[in-house]
Structure 1
Amino acid sequence: MYQTVFLKISLYVLIVCSLACSPKQPKEQLPYYNSPDFTPVFLAAGEDVTKTIPHTIDSFSFTNQLGNNITEQTVDEKIHVANFIFTRCASICPVMTKHMKMVEKEYATDNNLVILSYSVTPWIDSVNRLKEFAEQNKITSSNWHLLTGNKAEIYNLARRSYFAEEDLGFTKDSSEFLHTEHVLLIDKTKRIRGIYNGTLQLEIEQLIKDIKVLRDE
């Protein structure tokens, strides 16, 4: 009997030691996206991000639903999520807004997560109209900015910085209407780390998980 007990204890100690000595699992890593074709780039340990991934979100200056000026400094050293909507959209935008509210709810108390929803019809979506839209959709987070401003600047930022329409964006100018279901995840260095279909709940659930990965980087 004592021998059996001793063997069980010895086996238990051996298992614990094995687990303690086994190498730790590597942290989950999100890719970088450096080009409009969204080819994922994974960096090796110690690799220089600034040299390998030169593309970052450009500077910008727009107005939110409260009349406040929002610039690239608003998202300095913060993770941000970007999408492109318009308040009169009756197709994909209501679904996208509903799904973005999942992100708002999940990170309601996190001031290091910012949501930027750029209007693609800024000539219609005035500050007052965006405020009404926010109220209608119960958008209450101080970190969710519905943005309006110069059309050409919004379109250029969308296509050339966020790659909102992938490689097609480089063949279009600001006279061609921008309408996309893409939601972009941007890290604290303003580099693109994820692209999601904002009309699909499963993809937004993945976005929420990926934000947690970035927070741990």
Structure 2
Amino acid sequence: MLQTVFFRSSFWALFMIFSCTGNKESSLPYYNTPDFSPHFLSEKEAEKEITHTIGSFSFTDQDNKAVTDQLINHKIHIASFIFTSCGSICPVMIKNLDILSKKYEKDSDVVLLSFSVTPEIDTPQKLKDFKKSNKINNPNWYFLTGNKNQIYKLARKSYFAEEDIGFTKDSTNFLHTEHIILADQNKKIRGIYNGTLQTDIQQLIKDIQVLKNDE
């Protein structure tokens, strides 16, 4: 009996040590390529095997302030690609993202980035008016504009926004996607969702919580 108790105690002690050292496999996959093949790995394994991260960038937000990739250092962030004159999928995406936004409105460790795919039209003032007209009050939701080539390159090469279909395209091919991308505190891609579906947004909210718990 004592041996059994000792064995169980030892097992759980080892389990806790194993978990706390970051070797526990995450329930969320990592994505390393634009075909979104999932890799279920521990954080330590991911450090070695998942080489893809969100690249550096510098754009301008709705308040005419510079926003760089330093903003998302050690933070969970959600990326979407929209334009203010869109009358089809964008209004639905914004409405659905606002569900998530309201949940994390006071959590500065969760950042939303919405990149304009028509930056030549979407000036900072236009983005500010867009945010106001959609009654978005979350200070951690940034609407970004800037160089079109850089936005499109970031969307396709860093976020795999159109998966492998658009990976080889450039800014002459219009970017219009309902995809929303989840990236973790290390700028690694952990999820892709259909922004027009509330069921996907609810799953996204659950997955954000998984990343917060894994931290």
TM score, norm. by length of structure 2: 0.87
Amino acid at match of 2:27: Q
Q: How does 1:90-101 map to 2 (within 5 A)?
A: 90-101=87-98
Q: Secondary structure at the match of 1:216?
A: helix
Distance 1:130 1:108 in 2: 19
Distance 1:148 1:28 in 2: 34
Q: Secondary structure at the match of 1:48?
A: helix
Q: Deviation string for 1:88-118 (max 9, x for gaps)?
A: 0000000000001011111111110000000
Residue 63 of structure 1 is matched in structure 2 by 60
1:173 positional shift = 1.1
Amino acid at match of 1:37: D
Q: How does 1:96-175 map to 2 (within 5 A)?
A: 96-175=93-172
1:47 positional shift = 4.2
In percent, how many aligned pairs have the same letter? 56
Against the structure 1 CA distance between its residues 27 and 42, is the aligned structure 2 distance closer, same or farther, given a 3 Å change threshold? Answer: closer
Moved over 4 A (4+): 20-24
Q: Deviation string for 1:24-49 (max 9, x for gaps)?
A: 8x886100000000000001x47432
Q: Could you tell me which runs of 5 or more consecutive residues in structure 2 were left unpaired when the two chains were aligned.
A: 16-23
Distance 1:113 1:63 in 2: 19
Against the structure 1 CA distance between its residues 211 and 122, is the aligned structure 2 distance closer, same or farther, given a 3 Å change threshold? Answer: same
Match of 1:198 among 180, 195, 200: 195
Distance 1:168 1:182 in 2: 13
Match of 1:40 among 38, 41, 58: 38
Distance 1:191 1:46 in 2: 11
Distance 1:113 1:129 in 2: 24
Residue pair 2:30, 2:46 contacting (<8 A) in 1 also: no
Match of 1:179 among 139, 156, 176: 176
Residue pair 1:160, 1:169 contacting (<8 A) in 2 also: no
Distance 1:57 1:95 in 2: 25
Q: Could you tell me which runs of 5 or more consecutive residues in structure 1 were left unpaired when the two chains were aligned.
A: 1-16
Q: Deviation string for 1:157-180 (max 9, x for gaps)?
A: 000000000002222111110000
Q: Deviation string for 1:1-55 (max 9, x for gaps)?
A: xxxxxxxxxxxxxxxx9xx98978x886100000000000001x47432220000
Residue pair 1:79, 1:186 contacting (<8 A) in 2 also: yes
Residue pair 1:119, 1:125 contacting (<8 A) in 2 also: yes
Q: Secondary structure at the match of 1:146?
A: strand
Distance 2:50 2:146 in 1: 29
What is the root-mean-square deviation in Å for CA atoms of aligned residues?
Answer: 1.9
Residue pair 2:30, 2:189 contacting (<8 A) in 1 also: yes
TM score, norm. by length of structure 1: 0.86
Distance 1:120 1:166 in 2: 16
Say if 2:50 is the partner of 1:53: yes
Amino acid at match of 2:205: I
Residue pair 2:26, 2:43 contacting (<8 A) in 1 also: no
Residue 13 of structure 1 is matched in structure 2 by none
Residue pair 2:25, 2:40 contacting (<8 A) in 1 also: no
